[in-house]
Amino acid sequence: MIKDENYLKNIANFCIEKSIKNGSEAASVTVYNSVSENINIRNKKLDGSERSENLAVTLTTYIGKKKSSISSSNLNEKNLNNLVKRCVETTNNTPDDQLNSLPDKDLHFYGDKNLDLYDETHLENIEKIDFIKEAEEEAFSNKKIVNTNGSGFSQNKSNFVLANTNGFIDGYKTSQFTAYCEVVSKDNGSMERDYEYSSKRFFNELLSPKELGKKASEFAVRKLNPQKIKSEKIDIIFDKRIAKNFLSSFANAITAGTIAKGTTFLKDKLNNQIFNQEINIIDKANIKRANGSRYFDSEGVKVKELELVKNGIFSDYLIDTYNGKKINKKSNGRSSGTTNLYFKNGSISFKDLIKSNKKILYVTETIGRGANLITGDYSVGASGIIIENEEFAYPVSEITIAGNFNEIFKNIRLANDLEFNFSTNSPTMLVEGMVVGGK
């Protein structure tokens, strides 16, 4: 069982009060508790099971413009007293930084917590095992599936409280259930692997075991007997699982920290057209039960909805308190990063998207992290399927995709098939005229 809110608040208040008594002028503290249970299955047999519990406190103290932090998992009173004392002593010996401070009081979250982020459901180990065994059974019903790379199920429950000397103290519970099935296919000497993955706040919203196993087997089988293709310039459709990675790169390029350092290809592009006018990007924290939803960030700042790109125009940064001061902007609640980040739906169906050209490369997997956020250059290994005359013709592998985000962003077309399966989500994406390196 995770610790209740009162227990966590008592520790938080104790640390705040002690820090002031020891000479701190301001302080913030996070008290966090989580319980995680995981099982692993291989070839329908249990391959491992573990349970872990984390109970920890992180204290940050301020004296003038000096700041330091300290963490511990020992929460008895004697250790907490020593923890606070050491943190204040360290702060006294830390150099000044004029940007150090707590957030402005008026930015803190106050309101109802109604996002439904916690599921009371608790699964016993045998239930987790049976779930994944059923998924693997379904996968093995396809005769071309010969092995598994390992499948698993995890259940995580957490609770935390954040408090500071602004008078803010709040927290909430979250849950996460995750299941995945990874299988190996074989045919005519060709062997391929692929997976399906599902992660939700609520257990009953996961993909069913049969659906998990069926999709994993289908994905692995469709990659069998891949061909090599010649280098060419071609329209590319990115599967939704891959398309969302473009959003992750975009988010990393627009944090206040990267903007302040100038280490991003988007450093001078605010209020400029960087996508075509049909593209809109939203970061929305208040979607009920969604994986990325939260009430406030790691500083207690309310997380407001951001329209990062509107009709192709780059409209906002991801801003925390410290780095916001560097660029003369107030925090918008993103010290913890993005929440539910997504492209809004496009206006074309998936079927119409694959009709847009006689030959298209449909990418189902990328290899490596080939995004250079300073220059905007993008290059990754990939595999996928060639679409010819609206039909999925044959799989391809050992190819490289390359381009630059400045051009890629302008050539994106989005389908209207957005789903909220992750904390970052995209409809199926087509990018016109990318360079593919082959044999």
Please tell me the predicted confidence (pLDDT) of residue 312.
Answer: 98
CA distance 235 to 433: 5
Please tell me the predicted confidence (pLDDT) of residue 111.
Answer: 87
| Cβ–Cβ < 8 Å for 186, 144 | yes
Tell me the pLDDT band of 16, cut-offs 50, 70 and 90.
very high
Please tell me the predicted confidence (pLDDT) of residue 368.
Answer: 81
**Per-residue pLDDT tens digits for 321-378:** 999 999 999 999 999 999 999 999 999 999 999 998 999 999 999 998 789 999 999 9
Kindly report the pTM of this predicted structure: 0.95
Residue with tokens 């002031």: 20
> What are the CA-CA distances from residue 29 to residues 70, 163, 169, 175, 334 (Å)?
10, 5, 9, 22, 18
Please tell me the predicted confidence (pLDDT) of residue 158.
Answer: 98
Please tell me the predicted confidence (pLDDT) of residue 18.
Answer: 97
Tokens representing 187?
Answer: 């045919």
- Residue 59's Cβ-count burial label (10 Å; 0-12, 13-18, 19+) is buried
Q: Where in the chain is the domain with CATH 3.30.2290.10?
A: 5-36+51-107
Tokens representing 300?
Answer: 């207690």
**Per-residue pLDDT tens digits for 240-294:** 999 999 999 999 999 999 999 999 999 999 999 999 999 999 999 999 999 999 9
> What are the CA-CA distances from residue 427 to residues 213, 335, 346, 350, 420 (Å)?
23, 26, 8, 9, 10
Alpha carbons within 13 angstroms on the beta-carbon side of residue 279 total: 26
Q: Which CATH number fits domain 5-36+51-107: 3.30.2290.10, 1.10.760.10, 3.40.50.1000, 1.20.1290.10?
A: 3.30.2290.10
Sheet holding 341-343, edge to edge: 313-314, 306-310, 281-283, 341-343, 424-425
CA distance 242 to 425: 10
**Per-residue pLDDT tens digits for 148-182:** 989 999 999 999 999 999 999 999 999 999 999 99
Please tell me the predicted confidence (pLDDT) of residue 370.
Answer: 82
SS3 261: helix
Please tell me the predicted confidence (pLDDT) of residue 190.
Answer: 92
Buried b (16+ CB within 10 A) or exposed e, 351-377: eebbeebeebbbbbbbeeebbebeebe
Tell me the pLDDT band of 73, cut-offs 50, 70 and 90.
very high
Tokens representing 427?
Answer: 């409809």
Please tell me the predicted confidence (pLDDT) of residue 39.
Answer: 97
- Residue ranges of alpha helices (H) inside 153-234 are 209-221
